[in-house]
Amino acid sequence: MSVEGIRAIIRLHSGPHPKETGPIPHSEVVEMIDSAWDHGRVTPKERAELLAAIAMFGDTVPGRASLLSKDDEEAIKRTVLSGIETLADFLKWTIRDQANFLIYCVLLGSAEYVGFQQGYVDTESIDPGLAAFIDHVLQENLRHAGSGFNSTTGFQPTAVNRNGEVYGYLLNASFPAKDGSGSYDVTDVIGANNGFFRLVFGQFDPPGD
């Protein structure tokens, strides 16, 4: 079941006409967690679904009653963090899993509910090793954009932190078209210790968009 098993529980309690209202039973929380462990490990996409459950039903909005008991919400959070409680643990994952966690749980998901924070990196005082790797990433992005674009006129790296450890970076950049017709805008994820990068989004934006 895995991801679909978690989504099935979420659908019962969401949408304009949920089939179930009121607090989410403990048995359904157990079912979500069991689904996440269905293959003996919790994948980044399963963690993202559990984070979605916390965002929608947990104690996340001031003044809104939580549909999860405190113990159940903490159990979901522990499952999300299992095996990645520290950076050293996270780096034991494959590069693919590290990248997918940064994409699905941080960039697109709700990892802030398990202690992940994002902070802009000052490009004026950036670590030389990171600066060199970002330059490599930007050159690869420009190659992907094609010959009709100039080098970037601006970029912004964002560090992904938890408990003072940097698990990776998000990078946004824009490459102007040579004919002035717009720009090619990208978002990348960069691994901890500059271990890898993945182009997540790349699209052409006309002027005014």
Residue 86 makes CB contacts below 8 A (sequence gap 6+) with 163, 165
Query: Buried (b) or exposed (e) across 126-143, using 16+ Cβ within 10 A?
Result: eeeebeebbeebbeebbe
The DSSP element (H or E) to which 155 belongs, if any, is strand 154-162
What pLDDT, in 10s, does the model give residues 42-68?
999 999 999 999 999 999 888 888 999
CA 190 to chain centre: 12
Kindly tell me if the per-residue pLDDT of 126 is higher than 60: yes
Phi, psi angles (nearest 5°) of residue 203: -150, 155
Residue 208: per-residue pLDDT: 61
Same domain, 10 and 76: yes
Return the CA Rg of the chain.
20
Q: CATH no. for residue 173? A: 3.10.450
Does 103 reside within a domain? no
Is 73 in the same domain as 139?
no
112-116 CB contacts, 8 Å cutoff, 24+ apart? 113/51, 113/54, 113/55, 113/58, 113/60, 113/77, 114/51, 114/54, 114/77, 114/80, 114/81, 114/162, 115/81, 115/162, 115/163, 116/160, 116/161, 116/162, 116/167
Q: Which domain holds residue 31?
A: 2-82
Distances in whole angstroms, Cα of residue 136 to Cα of each of 22, 119, 197: 51, 22, 10
pLDDT tens column, 61-105: 888 889 999 999 999 999 999 999 999 999 999 999 999 999 999
Residue after which a domain boundary falls, among 66, 82, 98: 82
- Residue 99 in domain: no
Name the residue among 31, 28, 9 with its Cα closest to residue 18: 9
- Residue 14 covered by a domain: yes
Q: Which residues share a beta bridge with 202?
A: 186
Looking at the structure, tell me whether residues 74 and 133 fall in a common domain: no
Whole-number average pLDDT of the chain: 93
Query: What pLDDT digit, counting tens, does each position of 153-202 carry?
Result: 889 999 999 999 999 999 999 999 999 999 999 999 999 999 899 999 99
Total structural domains within the chain? 2
